[in-house]
Amino acid sequence: MISVRSRVLPRVLPHDLLHVLPHILACSLPCAWLLACGRDAPPPPAAPPPPPMVVVNQPAPAAPAPSGPAPNAGAAAAWLRAHYTKYEYRIPMRDGVRLFTSVLVPNDASPAKKYPLLLRRTPYSVAPYGADRYPSMGGSGEPFVREGFIFVAQDVRGTHMSEGTFEHVRPIRPAGAPPAATDESTDTFDTIAWLLRTLPHHNGKVGQWGISYDGFYTSAGIIDGHPALVAASPQAPIGDWWIGDDLHRNGAFALHEAFAFLGRVDRPRPRPTSERDGWPVLEFGTPDAYQYFLDVGPLAELGPAQFGAEVPYWKDLVAHPDYDDFWKARNILPRLRGIRAAVLVVGGWYDTEDLYGALETYRSIKAQNPGARNSLVMGPWKHGGWMGPGDQLGDSEFGFPTGPGFVELMLAFFKHHLKGGPAPSLAEALVFETGANRWRTFPAWPPREAREAALYLREGGGLSREAPLAGGDPAAAADEFVSDPARPVPYTQSPETSYWSAEYMSEDQRFAARRPDVLVYQTPPLEEDVTIAGPIEAELYVSTTGTDADWVVKLVDASPGKLPGWTRRDLEDGRPDKGARQLLVRGEPFRGRYRDGADAPRAFVPGQVAKVAFRIDDVFHTFQRGHRIMIQIQSSWFPFIDRNPQTFVPNIYRAQRADFVKATHRVHRGGAAASRLLVRILPAADAAPK
């Protein structure tokens, strides 16, 4: 299984890590946040002719240097400089816009020794600029560099040194658009076509990869992709910015993440520049994010004063609160068609940004491209965490380093498809089972053996697979709490401001369970292991004294007060007692106004029972015997999710302070209003045969 040794990345902030990765894994590779319908992308038109190709600072090839790995980390950069030669180009697209592209070519490339291309397209800069300035190398990138590829990194349209206008999650051109129309799929196609015509000593095969926003560009690149693009790995790719990735969760605005991201990167760039002056450090004036956003007030009062400048995309968010055509055009998932390349989709169970994107990219490719070579790798990782050790995150531990072998798996994938290497031992689904802390393989995800089961909310805070008795007054069987927008439930105990917590998805939830505005339901201690695998469906029957509400459902692993095998000697040796913890397995918010449809907001009628049903992202977790399965329900998750005023207004982004009111929420659990979670239970891998 995954057990290859690799150096551990230095401890850095989560987003800085992703901006460093481009320089680690493919000699020039950063983070990725920032489409297409089924049709064959046409070749660049013959007329009008594009501007002449411009080669920027192309040096003469250096003499080959001795092969072999760098002797130590300090010599890595010198080793790279001795073995590769850097070139910079401005590659013309079919509409004449030129995209800045950095290329690293192995010095021993020749007619007798040809290399494939490995492409990464990014909005985060391919710096350092200048043919004599080389990216750093080390850790996870060294196996790729030693193996040998022609590494290509490109500033996408409208960013850094590329011409044109940048557009976030740029929509795919509509069917029937003229041949000169462009999108990220055609920009990728044109880039590959130009490189194959221009660069010498390549073997005619291209791979593409990227994390987060770069993963989005990888997904776009394979839509009716260039025939030479034979392998791609979208990692934590953006899928849909309104339904489940980055900026929203089921219509609920991801305040902390969106504010930190847009405030840093969404700055106007009037002309190409090699300066990364669009990455300011936001000044919060406090390390306490909860208090900062509470003091700022409603979203209507957020603006240039807090961002420090105009943020163009903020205006788009305010103008499009519902799932309208603006967001639907930017959903890449239904456009993932015409895919011929082999695909390796990668994600992390604890990715705070693009967990939805990874899972749904895999599903969409599988559903819309019959017979496609499409694999999924899901590990116990945060966003981009597969490039680090991956042995623990927050309050969760995974038993051993899970990340190091992934780079070797990824290398084997590209070697096989680009260089004719042996096929890697890779099932369609390679997934990590949290709770049991082990890798598992399946011919599909979710596992076909998993069977649907229901977990019903019961009286006295119980949770049971047995439904409550039919009949009776559904309004009487209910639990209630007061939700106060002035005192929202925090999503984490971390006080971070500059970045949202990268660890909240694996955090102990006792701090929340002890609040009066959080409902808690749990099973008795389990008599045997229970493994939940796949997506979860929440079916809540609720009522409120207000006219709007959010609903947050959390699946929690509650451990016994005393863990087996732990002794006081462990405490003396520095190993803390981890009994009685309530570890978050999955949490999902839902903006209640969208219960009838993402594009059909509707107020609640005070006191009237309403059904709120929504999907919760997949899990693969074993609740061990002696543990309890716990569900927590609340109506705020601040400041990761913005506060719902609990008064229905047409646009929450324009809600005023007077709109924010206390409300009493009720969760019903009886008769025809029996709230429940629908899960898929997989027979335990080590269960005794019956």
Parallel, antiparallel, or unpaired for β 550-558 and 628-634? antiparallel
Residue with the bigger pLDDT between 676 and 80: it is: 676
At 227, list the tokens. Answer: 């025939």
- pLDDT, residue 472, reads 67
- pLDDT, residue 77, reads 75
236, pLDDT greater than 60:
yes
Query: Which band of pLDDT confidence, cut at 50, 70 and 90, is reported for residue 568?
Result: confident
Cis-peptide into 268, omega within 30 deg: no
- pLDDT, residue 569, reads 80
Q: Residue 660 falls within a domain, yes or no?
A: no
- pLDDT, residue 22, reads 41
Q: Residue 201 falls within a domain, yes or no?
A: yes
Residues counted in the chain: 690
Query: Which band of pLDDT confidence, cut at 50, 70 and 90, is reported for residue 281?
Result: confident
Residue with the bigger pLDDT between 23 and 144: it is: 144
Quote the CA–CA distance of 593 and 532 in Å, as a whole number.
29
CA distances from 84 to 59, 65, 104, 116 (A): 12, 9, 6, 14
What stretch of H or E contains 9? none
- The answer to whether the beta carbons of residues 384 and 357 sit under 8 Å apart is no
Query: Which band of pLDDT confidence, cut at 50, 70 and 90, is reported for residue 41?
Result: very low
Query: Which band of pLDDT confidence, cut at 50, 70 and 90, is reported for residue 72?
Result: low
- The answer to whether the beta carbons of residues 181 and 190 sit under 8 Å apart is no
CB-based contacts of 570: which residues, under 8 Å, 6+ apart?
A: 577
User: Per-residue DSSP letters for 103-171?
Assistant: EEEETT-BTTB-EEEEEEEESS--PSPSTT------GGGHHHHHH--EEEEEEPTTSTT--S---TTPP
Over residues 484-513, the mean pLDDT reads 91
- pLDDT, residue 62, reads 32
Query: Which band of pLDDT confidence, cut at 50, 70 and 90, is reported for residue 139?
Result: low
Q: What's the domain count of the chain?
A: 1
CB-based contacts of 64: which residues, under 8 Å, 6+ apart?
A: 83, 107, 108
- pLDDT, residue 418, reads 98
CA distances from 503 to 512, 611, 684 (A): 15, 31, 28
Q: CA angle 610-611-617, nearest 5°?
A: 145
Amino acid at 564: P
Neighbours of 133 (CB within 10 A): 13
Q: Residue 500 falls within a domain, yes or no?
A: no
Over residues 34-52, the mean pLDDT reads 32
Quote the CA–CA distance of 538 and 555 in Å, as a whole number.
11
Quote the CA–CA distance of 639 and 289 in Å, as a whole number.
7
Q: Residue 89 falls within a domain, yes or no?
A: yes
Q: What range does the domain containing 146 cover?
A: 22-240+330-442
- Residue 309 in 3-state DSSP? coil
The sign one gets for the Cα dihedral 566, 567, 573, 575 is positive
Residue with the bigger pLDDT between 219 and 390: it is: 219
Query: Which band of pLDDT confidence, cut at 50, 70 and 90, is reported for residue 687?
Result: low
In a 10 Å sphere around its CB, with 0-12 CB exposed, 13-18 middle and 19+ buried, how is residue 566 labelled? middle
Summarised one tens digit per residue, pLDDT across range 310-356 is 889 999 999 999 999 999 999 999 999 999 999 999 999 999 999 99
- pLDDT, residue 675, reads 98
At 38, list the tokens. Answer: 């089924």
Region of poorest pLDDT, from 6-20, 77-91, 102-116, 532-546: 6-20
- The answer to whether the beta carbons of residues 485 and 645 sit under 8 Å apart is yes
- The answer to whether the beta carbons of residues 34 and 123 sit under 8 Å apart is yes
- pLDDT, residue 565, reads 77
- The answer to whether the beta carbons of residues 610 and 541 sit under 8 Å apart is yes
- The answer to whether the beta carbons of residues 235 and 354 sit under 8 Å apart is no
Query: Which band of pLDDT confidence, cut at 50, 70 and 90, is reported for residue 279?
Result: low
503, pLDDT greater than 50:
yes
28, pLDDT greater than 70:
no
- The answer to whether the beta carbons of residues 530 and 585 sit under 8 Å apart is no
54, pLDDT greater than 50:
no
3, pLDDT greater than 80:
no
107, pLDDT greater than 80:
yes
138 beta partners: none
At 475, list the tokens. Answer: 């309004």
- pLDDT, residue 27, reads 34
- The answer to whether the beta carbons of residues 589 and 552 sit under 8 Å apart is yes
Summarised one tens digit per residue, pLDDT across range 378-410 is 999 999 999 889 998 888 889 899 988 898 899
What share of the chain in percent tops pLDDT 90?
71
pTM, to two decimals = 0.89
Over residues 252-259, the mean pLDDT reads 95
Q: Round the average pLDDT of the chain to a whole number and report it.
A: 87
- The answer to whether the beta carbons of residues 36 and 335 sit under 8 Å apart is yes
Amino acid at 418: L
Query: Which band of pLDDT confidence, cut at 50, 70 and 90, is reported for residue 9?
Result: very low
- pLDDT, residue 658, reads 98
- The answer to whether the beta carbons of residues 299 and 643 sit under 8 Å apart is no
Query: Which band of pLDDT confidence, cut at 50, 70 and 90, is reported for residue 274?
Result: confident
Q: Residue 219 falls within a domain, yes or no?
A: yes
Quote the CA–CA distance of 330 and 168 in Å, as a whole number.
9
Parallel, antiparallel, or unpaired for β 663-670 and 673-674? antiparallel
DSSP secondary-structure letter at 598?
T
For the CA atoms of the chain, what is the radius of gyration? 26
- The answer to whether the beta carbons of residues 406 and 429 sit under 8 Å apart is no
Please name which of 186, 164, 154, 162 lies closest in space to residue 173, comparing C-alpha atoms.
186
688, pLDDT greater than 70:
no
Quote the CA–CA distance of 226 and 203 in Å, as a whole number.
15
Summarised one tens digit per residue, pLDDT across range 630-641 is 999 999 999 999
Over residues 131-145, the mean pLDDT reads 80
CB-based contacts of 59: which residues, under 8 Å, 6+ apart?
A: 85, 86, 87, 131, 132
What share of the chain in percent tops pLDDT 70?
87
CA distances from 341 to 11, 219, 221, 408, 664 (A): 34, 11, 10, 20, 53
CA distances from 306 to 112, 163, 170, 262, 301 (A): 58, 30, 26, 12, 9
CATH of the domain at 412: 3.40.50.1820
- pLDDT, residue 66, reads 33
Please report how many Cα atoms fall inside a 13 Å half-sphere around the Cα of residue 58, on the Cβ side. 10
Q: Residue 209 falls within a domain, yes or no?
A: yes
Parallel, antiparallel, or unpaired for β 396-397 and 392-393? antiparallel
CA distances from 219 to 122, 266, 490, 519, 674 (A): 12, 22, 34, 40, 40
Query: Which band of pLDDT confidence, cut at 50, 70 and 90, is reported for residue 248?
Result: very high
141, pLDDT greater than 70:
yes
What stretch of H or E contains 590? strand 582-591
Quote the CA–CA distance of 543 and 611 in Å, as a whole number.
9
Query: Which band of pLDDT confidence, cut at 50, 70 and 90, is reported for residue 138?
Result: low
Query: Which band of pLDDT confidence, cut at 50, 70 and 90, is reported for residue 276?
Result: low
Long-range contacts of 606-611 (CB under 8 A, 24+ apart): 606/543, 606/544, 606/545, 606/546, 606/547, 607/543, 607/545, 608/543, 609/474, 609/475, 609/541, 609/542, 609/543, 609/668, 609/673, 610/541, 610/542, 610/543, 611/539, 611/540, 611/541
- pLDDT, residue 23, reads 40
Q: Residue 77 falls within a domain, yes or no?
A: yes
505, pLDDT greater than 50:
yes
- pLDDT, residue 185, reads 97
Quote the CA–CA distance of 418 and 228 in Å, as a whole number.
10
31, pLDDT greater than 60:
no
SS3 sequence, 319-371?
Answer: HCCCCCHHHHHCCCHHHCCCCCCEEEEEEECCCCCCHHHHHHHHHHHHHHCCC
Amino acid at 529: D
34, pLDDT greater than 60:
no
Q: Residue 110 falls within a domain, yes or no?
A: yes
